[in-house]
Amino acid sequence: MLAMPQPDPFLQPEDPTAAAAIAAIGEDLALFDDWMERYQYIIELGRKLPPFPEAWADDAHRVPGCQSKVWMEAEKRDGRLYLAGASDAAIVAGLVALLLRVYSGRTPAEIIATEPVFLKEFGLLEALSTNRGNGIAAMARRIRDAAAHYA
């Protein structure tokens, strides 16, 4: 039997720029009246992430500083950095999805130029526990470090 080709684990951008992705996320979050609804929305985003290869769920891909287990991988294609990510916690997988929506498929220069201040502006850091806030900051750092490496 032939092996089925694996789906691409790297998130493809749905917005033309990081700034457009941030604006779209802001609009989506504004639709909800309270944080419980926003959390549900974020959890749903995590469920829609492309499948993350099991072979990458290792220490080499693990993001240090996260309370939950988080794994990320980056690959440069045609001058753009594509990102894959996963977590063992539903809300954190959703936060991974938010970061990937903003940063995956962008040039290293655009990633470096796009500070993750939107996390604070949308109230995401304040709405999370301190450990989760530190973890999402660690994820954003990992993405920006990868962009700097490929720049």
Three-state secondary structure of 53-85: CHHHCCCCCECCCCCCCEEEEEEEECCEEEEEE
Looking only at the bridges linking them, the beta strands covering 80-87 and 70-77 are antiparallel
Supply 39's token pair: 């959390």
Say which of 11, 42, 63, 66 is annotated catalytic. Answer: 66
117 alpha-carbon distance from chain centroid: 14
- Residues 6+ away with beta carbon under 8 Å from 40: none
83 catalytically annotated = no
Q: Would you name the residues annotated as active-site residues?
A: 66
